[in-house]
Structure 1
Amino acid sequence: MAYPALASRRFAGPLSPDQFRFFALLIALAVLLSSFALPVRADEQRGNLPDFTALVKSAAPAVVNISTTREESAGPGMNQQQIPEIFRHFFGDQMPPGFGPRGPQRPGGRTLSSLGSGFIISPDGYILTNAHVVDGADNVTVRLNDRRELDAEVVGTDRKTDVALIKVDANDLPTLDIGNSDNLEVGEWVAAIGSPFGFDHSVTAGIVSAINRTLPTDTYVPFIQTDVAINPGNSGGPLFNLDGQVVGINSQIFTRSGGFMGVSFAIPINVAMDIADQLRDNGQVQRGWLGVVIQPVSDDLADSFGLDRARGALIAEVAPDSPAAQAGLQAGDIILRAGDTDIDSSEMLPRVIGRLSPGDSIDLRVQRDGSERTISLEVGQWPESEQPGDAGSSVGNESGRLGVAVSELTADQRQQLEIDSGVLVRQVAPDSAAERAGLQPGDVIVTLAGQSIDSAATLHKVVEGLESDHPVPMRVNRDGTTLFVALRLGDAGK
């Protein structure tokens, strides 16, 4: 109790000269120390965050803006009122690639324009971008960092991986350093350069959120998931690591609003460069083909087949006269290993087989009837027209509106189900219109909105003509029983 009394007496009156000098010295010392401490704390904060300035200065000259035009006849599609209000003033009459269905019905058709990004991979003018950026374009124009505009030729596109190779007539162009996407780790910093909404050379950054992501209708791409802000116009642009190396091509976003929501996907550069090499050398991509329909192995299935855990790719169907059939693979076999790769999940098998060239041999480690065996086979050439039995294949990318991957029925399937036409549902995207309607893998879509569905192309055409948020009847054959479901389409984007 002595301390408060002493304090009360000590500061009750005016300060003495000695006390004043003492407190002045303390204040001066505090100011002096703060002048040293603040820069140290700022430096420490800067040291904990990546600095992208050098990367941008070095890489920006090799990133390009891509604009396309195409003539389109009148048809149903999206009008200005269907675009979210916040984006409308960016577009005018331009619709960015991947942003929903194409324009409104207008007599006599119209010229459609779109914007995207790309990057130069060789001094003589080869440029990588997304297939959906240039798909169907009548004219492709590339604007370089120095503002030159050059006409581009589409060397080739691959829709399965959404990779396209184009070329401009120029020499001594700046190029980017190509990295190794196999070395990416979750949590690693990455940056994107592109042209969102036409704003050239916009830079965004974030981290790798996940690797080897499989999307419902993109079986052949082990996507890189990031939280880098990607918007319409970024498609086809490069994704960089902190060393300034390209590790991916920005391709898609998951969105419920039409804009960025924190989840974006990039095609690994290792996959893209393999595709680019084939397009440059052959003008097309050749893939290995087994001829099997596969499905995941659940815990219950693993237990029923005598597996120690859920792993592998379960063969549900073998296409007649396919490489798999000729090698003796059977429905019910579980592929546990392909070559040197353990098949931990079913989506890994199409990636392994798809990277092989027709004629390549591979050893498959298979479990059958509770015991393992090795089956060697020579992979075939991917059929020109897809058919059931394509390992992990999907026909008809409806992920934007319907949310299913489908394939045509074989003659045997039509006879077995006693139906004349229909398409088989292979995959259903989570939280999609198809899932909300109750569609399941294995269902056969027979009619939609009163129209017979005889192919994936017909399904795509009918879906594109439907209005959003208006229920339409869909007739489905499920396990030999016919039923109707009410389908209500919503808006989704890439």
Structure 2
Amino acid sequence: MRSRFTVLRSAMLAVALAGTAIGAVQAPALARPAPESFADLAAQLQPAVVNISTTQQVEVGRQIPGMPQLQPGSPLEEFFRRFMEERGQSEGGEGEPITREARSLGSGFIIDPEGYIVTNNHVITGRDGQTVVDKITVILNDDRRFEARVVGRDPATDLALLKVEAKGLPYVQWGDSTKARVGDWVLAIGNPFGLGVTVTAGIVSALHREIGVGQYDRLIQTDASINRGNSGGPMFDNNGRVIGIATAILSPTGGNIGIGFAIPADQAKPIVDQLRSLGKVRRGWLGVRIQPVTEDIAAGLGFKEPKGAIVAGIEDNTPAGRAGVRQGDVILKFDGKEVNRQQSLQSIVSDTTIGSTVNMEILREGKPATLRVTVAERPDGDGAPPAPETQQEDTKSNGDRVTSQHLGLGLQPLTAEVRQRLGLGADVTGVVISNVNPASDAAAKGLRPGDVLLGINQKRVSAPAEAAALVDEARNSGRDAVVLLVQRGPDVIHIGVKMMAVKEKTAAPAKK
């Protein structure tokens, strides 16, 4: 008779084999165990992590002549201010400014024994993110204090490089964030809430996150505890190399809920190198306004999965314009690099050598093409045949007006009267959305009467019947969504819209 252990082991083996038969995911045999302690690594790294204290004089009001000195913002100060204004003794901005010293805390790390320190731009700037604070003090782990100067900063990526006059400082080295994998252990060190150097550990939760804080977002998400004051602090891998810089948290309360974000080292290091050598960042530039290809837009274009970036607009006298880029083009590759979630077009172009001429692979109206484009320096400030008549159940026509039942949109011509009412220039061509079916995906995507439909699936439209024909063309090619190019006021955007199912009409039985 077999022992209980043997029976359990056999049962587990049977489950494992069954899982293999149906394609279950199995853990790799050589997975790393969780470390027993981070103590040795933390002790090695802490000396190179610094606290950053900033001070700035902030105007909180103005002193009205004849008004007593009171605490700015206090109820008594507000009472006297209103009293003096009613007597006509105050007008707008007259009077001496009242300032108060504002302090903030952040983190940073030393990358060179000569005193070069990396942090976030928002740690050393005021609320506008542009004005540098009056004084920056760097506090080392051994309580030594140095006044720092700003070598350079880059608001677009929220990075800044500081310098203190010191030698022989402890420092850390950059790691390779491109090798980071979801599930890897990471160590974050910083100065949360001004408590002093604090060590937290967690894992890489996700990669290439875009959270809307900048056009170059491709952040590392981690559950290592990051709070206010951690900004600018390093995130290390198991080898003690910097693979990220804490920059943001997602939290309804301002405290840690396990969702923090770090700028990856492979993005940060080239920026820091430019700040050190040039004091600023030079970036490649095309001069296009783009959107990522979402799942809905991908479905409308006939892609199996989202890829590339779709051009929403082109600025005048730009590299993109000179290369022949058109609105609605989908940029798939730039300089041989695929445009996807891991590599955004902005990041690829930004890293391309200024003045170089490279190939750009695009999709235009369903057909591939290659353009040659010469990258400039970024200025300051950042066909299927027509569908047969029997398939035209999608539309209902009333003169020049058309109702696209599969889109749930009513369309009408862009007449001079409508153009004037909407404040559109003579150069705008398209059709006007007159009504929207509230049950449609178009309504869910925010389309509304008064929006101008400029094109469908990368093809321009100038009449409601043309728009209806393009929708039918998409349906008959087997697609369940289309990509609409829509203008609202000065803004132009691509929107992927799923088509509605419409019950086909059946012929009535013949009378006998």
What SS class does the counterpart of residue 215 from structure 1 fall into?
A: coil
1:68: which partner in 2? 54
Partners of 2:139 and 2:133 in 1: how far apart? 16
In the alignment, is residue 126 of structure 1 matched against residue 126 of structure 2?
no
Rounded to whole Å, the distance in 2 between the matches of 1:385 and 1:219 is 13
Counterparts of 1:24-173 in structure 2, within 5 Å, are 48-74=34-60, 108-135=98-125, 136-173=132-169
Shift of 1:294: 1.1
**Residue type of the partner of 1:216?**
G
1:226-267: CA deviation from partner (whole Å, max 9, x where unpaired): 001111111111101111111111111001011111100001
Q: How does 1:209-248 map to 2 (within 5 A)?
A: 209-248=205-244
The DSSP-based 3-state class of the residue aligned with 1:142 is strand
Could you tell me how far apart the structure 1 residues matched to 2:73 and 2:60 are? 16
Letter of the structure 2 residue corresponding to residue 72 of structure 1: V
Q: How many Å separate the matches in 2 of 1:298 and 1:47?
A: 37
Indicate the SS of the match to 1:231. Answer: coil
Q: 2:362 aligns with which of 341, 360, 366?
A: 366
Query: 2:239 is paired with a residue of what secondary structure?
Result: coil
Aligned twin of 1:207: 203
Task: Check if 1:293 corresponds to 2:289.
Answer: yes
What SS class does the counterpart of residue 171 from structure 1 fall into?
coil
Moved over 4 A (4+): 414-417, 438-443
Match of 2:455 in 1: none
Partner in structure 2 of residue 96 of structure 1? none
Deviation at 1:478, TM superposition (A): 7.6
Using the TM superposition, name which of 251-260 and 297-306 deviates more: 297-306
The answer for unaligned runs of 5 or more in structure 2 is 1-31, 63-71, 75-95, 126-131, 383-418, 426-443, 450-485, 492-512
Deviations 1:247-294 (A, max 9, x none): 111111001011111100001112111111111111110111111111
Deviation digits for residues 15-48 of structure 1 (CA, Å, limit 9, x no counterpart): xxxxxxxxxxxxxxxxxxxxxxxxxxxxxxx964
Q: Which residue of structure 2 aligns with residue 344 of structure 1? A: 340
Letter in 2 for 1:351: S
Task: Write the distance in 1 (CA, Å) between the matches of 2:422 and 2:375.
Answer: 30
Change in 2 beyond 3 A, CA 1:478/1:310? closer
For 2:158 and 2:422, the matched residues in 1 are separated by: 34
Q: Distance in 2 between matches of 1:179 and 1:441?
A: 46
Letter in 1 for 2:157: T
Q: Is the 8 A contact 2:218 2:342 kept in 1?
A: no
Normalising by structure 2, report the TM-score.
0.60
Give secondary structure in 1 for the equivalent of 2:148: strand
Cα distance, 1:144 vs structure 2: 1.1
Name stretches of at least 5 consecutive residues in structure 1 with no aligned partner: 1-45, 82-105, 387-413, 421-437, 444-476, 483-494
How much does 1:348 deviate?
1.0
1:187 to 172, 176, 183: 183
The offset of 1:219, in angstroms, is 2.1
Assess if the C-alpha contact under 8 Å between 1:442 and 1:478 holds in 2.
no
- Residue 375 in structure 1 maps to residue 371 in structure 2: yes
In the TM superposition, what is the alpha-carbon distance from 1:339 to its structure 2 partner?
Answer: 1.8
Alignment counterpart, residue 267 of structure 2, candidates 264, 267, 271: 271
Q: CA deviation at 1:198?
A: 1.2
State how far apart, in whole Å, the 1-side matches of 2:487 and 2:272 are: 41
Question: Does the 8 Å CA contact 2:208/2:341 hold for their aligned counterparts?
Answer: no
Counterpart-to-counterpart distance in 1, 2:218 and 2:362: 23
Cα RMSD of the aligned pairs, angstroms, is 3.4
The 3 A distance-change label for structure 1 pair 141 and 441 is farther
1:297 and 1:345 in contact (8 A); partners too:
no
Shift of 1:177: 2.3
* Residue 492 (structure 1) aligns with: none
Indicate whether 1:252 and 2:248 are aligned. Answer: yes
Q: Would the aligned equivalents of 1:198 and 1:233 in 2 still touch at CA under 8 Å? A: yes
Change (3 A) 1:50 1:320: farther
Which residue pairs with 2:172 in the alignment?
176
Change (3 A) 1:314 1:48: closer
Q: Take 1:55 and 1:204, find their aligned partners in 2: how far apart are those partners?
A: 12
For 1:339, the aligned partner's letter is D
Q: Are the counterparts in 1 of residues 235 and 242 from structure 2 also a CA contact under 8 Å?
A: yes
Judging changes above 3 Å, is the alpha-carbon distance between structure 1 residues 72 and 193 closer, same or farther for their aligned structure 2 residues?
A: same
Letter in 2 for 1:354: S
Letter in 2 for 1:113: R
Counterpart of 2:45, as a letter, is A
Pair 1:121–1:277, CA change in 2 (3 A): same
1:12 equivalent in structure 2 = none
Deviation at 1:75, TM superposition (A): 6.3
CA positional deviation for 1:309: 3.7
Are the structure 2 counterparts of residues 139 and 364 from structure 1 closer, same or farther at C-alpha, using a change threshold of 3 Å? Answer: same
CA distance in 1, matches of 2:310, 2:154: 27
| CA distance, structure 2, for counterparts of residue 359 and residue 278 of structure 1 | 17
Looking at structure 2, the residues matched to 128 and 353 of structure 1 have their Cα atoms a distance apart, in angstroms, of: 24
Once the 2 structures are TM-superposed, how far is the Cα of residue 347 of structure 1 from its aligned partner?
A: 7.1
Q: 1:418 aligned to 2:420?
A: no
Query: Does the aligned pair in 2 maintain the 1:286–1:357 contact within 8 Å?
Result: no
One-letter identity of the residue aligned with 1:418 = G
Contact 1:297–1:346 at 8 Å: present in 2 too? no
Identity of aligned residues (%): 43
1:55 aligns to what SS in structure 2? helix
- TM superposition shift of 1:216: 1.5
TM superposition shift of 1:480: 4.5
Contact 2:61-2:98 within 8 A present in 1 as well: no
